[in-house]
Amino acid sequence: MALVESTSPNDSVTEIDGIKFVVDKGQAVYFENTKLDFVKSMFGFGEFRLVNR
């Protein structure tokens, strides 16, 4: 996962609640039935995780 400034012709762009998600079309199969979740740790920090549904 990375922040990008521009997309390429091989990218698929999905916008949810004003946030754009860019996924390479060749890698999209790995994200099927997956959700992006923000999980807080017991130390108060958090991180994004990909979770299978």
Q: What is the pLDDT of residues 1-53, one digit of tens each?
A: 777 788 899 999 888 899 888 889 988 888 888 888 998 988 888 988 888 87
Q: Are 51 and 37 in contact (CB under 8 A)?
A: yes
What is the model's pLDDT at position 42?
Answer: 84
Sign of CA dihedral 49, 50, 52, 53: positive
Distance CA 20, CA 24 (A): 13
In the three-class reduction of DSSP (H, G, I as helix; E, B as strand; rest coil), residue 16 is classed as strand
